[in-house]
A and B are shown apart, each in its own frame.
Chain A
Amino acid sequence: MAKILEVKNLRTTFFTHLGEVQAVRGISFDLEEGDILGIVGESGSGKSVTSLSIMGLVDEPGRIVEGEVLFEGLDLTKLDQKEMSNYRGNEISMIFQDPMTSINPAFTVGNQLREVIMTHTGMNKEQAHQRALELLTMVGIPEPETRIKNHPYQFSGGMRQRALISMAIACNPKLLIADEPTTALDVTIQAQILELMRDLKTKINTSIILITHDLGVISEICNKVIVMYGGMIMEKADIISLFDNPQHPYTRGLMLSVPRNVTGKKARLIPIEGSPPDLMAPPSGCPFSPRCQHAMEICLKKAAPLFKISDTQEASCWLHHPDAPEVKGFVKVAGEK
């Protein structure tokens, strides 16, 4: 399958007046056509900044300091804002966490939707209007003829998210980035929106990056997962490997701290002790080492490379090193990747 997106050694830093905040610290991953890639991590893990970096939307005082973002082989970090805006909303789209604030309150939904369509397709107003109606229908907004004339305040949260999704998919993007699209919504609405996204993926044939802190969401819709912590990738795997056989202490911790299997045997929730690292002065070694129960000398000094566990799974943990002590469930790998 063709790689639609390759992120290579991406490093994004915010130069605040209090010091440098290294939000993303040299991450690499690929996205293949048709993938739904989940990026999971707690707040401050760098997952949102990663998505903004791909979109070229990192705001001042942040900057991509290193690395490449190759979209169909073209390095997006080399484009200026004007060239980039030809891709945004057209080839690559994004939807955001909070539909209440992410849609402009001052214009009607139709106005905003038509604007996106006309910007990228050169349709006239009438054509764009027809297309907008189609899109609203597609994302499941009832009575689109009336709703298109409404202002966002007349929409509920779920409806707003649907409207925002309709803008994002207006030009059949090849890549759709969804940054916590369901976090701000009610649980019932969450499921609907996820269902809609899965549906759209097949309809418009797009690849999706889904950013979330919710492993449940990941398990429901993604086929590949990246686990981020402290601006770095801890583990990347396909969905089955990750859930069956997590190979990073942090991933394990995440899973143990999520309630699951409600009807089955009683499983205690086990929190991960401690708090996320201060990205202004990140630990010199593995970012998770201060909270890791398996932390070793080397973990404090040097971040682990990604050890290739299998064809579909890699993890950044020294426990996979041949010299490391034996820990149940962690596979030893002969060489570094």
Chain B
Amino acid sequence: MFGYYLKRIFSAIVTLFIIATLTFFMMRAIPGGPFTREKALPDQIIAQLNAKYNLDDPVIVQYLNYMKGIATFNFGPSFRELGLTVNDLIRQGLPGSMKVGIVAVLMILVFGIPMGIISALKQNKPIDYTVMVLATIGVTVPSFVVATLYIYLISSRVSWIPITGLSNPIAFIGPAIALSGYSLSYVARLTRSSMLEVLRQDYIRTARANGLSETRVIGKHALKNALIPVVTYVGPMIAAILTGSFVVERIFAINGIGRYFVESVSNRDYTVIIGMTVFYAGLYIFMVLLVDIAYSFIDPRIKLGKRTGD
């Protein structure tokens, strides 16, 4: 049982190591160095810059330094923004991303799961159709459309709702809706179909045959089984959402790591891109790991190392 967790943690570290290595060499593979500009810099300046950032060392030395940096959570300087390090950007961006992310995740869990359950219990009734139409729209309209629509509707009509930044609680509404829209709808659909599947199972009939009340049959016996696939989805989803959404942060001008990442991409700020990627991946893997451990409490079979559905 303890071995399972150790194994998971170990494989998470290995994965992260592979990602970091891969990213490093991918970035080295880019033709031209990080200082290639539209207007070519004089060779001598490039040489100076290379020396300053130790880019004239052999690749293997650079790689080892870089890995050492990652192991100590030091992602190095930005090549574009003088005096700023990747760590600074993460420190500035993470709180904003997390705040919006937490609100979005809460919305998904609080609305998505009950919507799916109600829909399943009222299958083929008007409320089911309503929920499913909404959920289908939710998974088909991209978040950037939701975000821009929201801004368009709010900015022209309701002046007291701020549309950018996170200055007050109301300002969270837009980003949270845009960020949660897809996953909320997906969770509702997933919960519904999983619930319908479970309600057909023999053990539900057994529970009824044993005279348990409908509340218990649904609320206990069906729910726990129905939530297993939902948790499987929600795990990585929480990770993805908490680490922010590039688009939503950009549209709502939120100072989050997603926004910095997109900016670094358009600036071709290579150290920031690598650093952010590794940080993102690390956070993601860490969240998935947490969820996996939580998962082993829900599904008793997992401790044997057997994953359902695998």
Q: Interface of A with B (CB < 8 Å)?
A: 55, 57, 59, 81-82, 85-90, 93-94, 96, 98, 101-107, 115-116, 119-120, 151, 153, 164, 167-168, 170
Contacts and interface: CB of A to CB of B under 8 A. Distances in A.
Contacts of B298: 106
A116 B220 CA distance: 13
Nearest to B300: A151
Contact of B299 (A55, A93, A106): A106
Contact of A94 (B209, B213, B214): B209
A96 B300 CA distance: 24
Contact of A119 (B201, B212, B304): B212
A98 B201 CA distance: 11
B203 A101 contact: yes
B301 A115 contact: no
- Name, among A57, A86, A102, A153, the residue most crowded by chain B CB atoms within 10 Å (CB to CB): A102
- Name, among B207, B214, B216, B221, the residue most crowded by chain A CB atoms within 10 Å (CB to CB): B207
B210 A106 contact: no
A101 B207 CA distance: 12
B195 to A, nearest CB: 14
Interface string B199-225: 001110111111111101000110011
Interface of B: 201-203, 205-214, 216, 220-221, 224-225, 228, 298-301, 304
Contact of A103 (B206, B208, B228, B300): B206
A119 B221 CA distance: 14
A299 B206 CA distance: 40
B207 A119 contact: no
Contact of A102 (B202, B224, B299, B300): B202
Nearest to A171: B211
Contact of B211 (A101, A102, A107, A119): A119
- Name, among A96, A106, A153, A164, the residue most crowded by chain B CB atoms within 10 Å (CB to CB): A106
Given A102-B202, A153-B304, 16 more contacts: A88-B208, A89-B209, A89-B211, A89-B212, A90-B211, A93-B209, A93-B210, A96-B205, A103-B206, A104-B207, A106-B299, A116-B210, A116-B211, A116-B212, A153-B300, A170-B210
Contacts of B205: 57, 59, 96, 102
Q: Is the interface of B mostly helix, strand, loop or mixed?
A: helix
A103 B203 contact: yes
A55 B208 CA distance: 9
Contacts of B212: 85, 89, 115-116, 119
Nearest to A94: B209
B224 A106 contact: yes
B287 to A, nearest CB: 24
Nearest to A98: B202
A55 B216 contact: no
Given A102-B202, A105-B203, A81 B214 contact: yes
A23 to B, nearest CB: 16
Given A96-B202, A104-B206, A88 B225 contact: no
Nearest to A103: B203
A104 B203 contact: yes
Contacts of A93: 209-210
6 contacts: A57-B209, A85-B211, A102-B202, A102-B205, A116-B210, A116-B212
B300 A86 contact: no
B306 to A, nearest CB: 9
Contacts of B300: 105-106, 151, 153
A89 B210 contact: yes
B225 A104 contact: yes
Contacts of A104: 203, 206-207, 221, 225
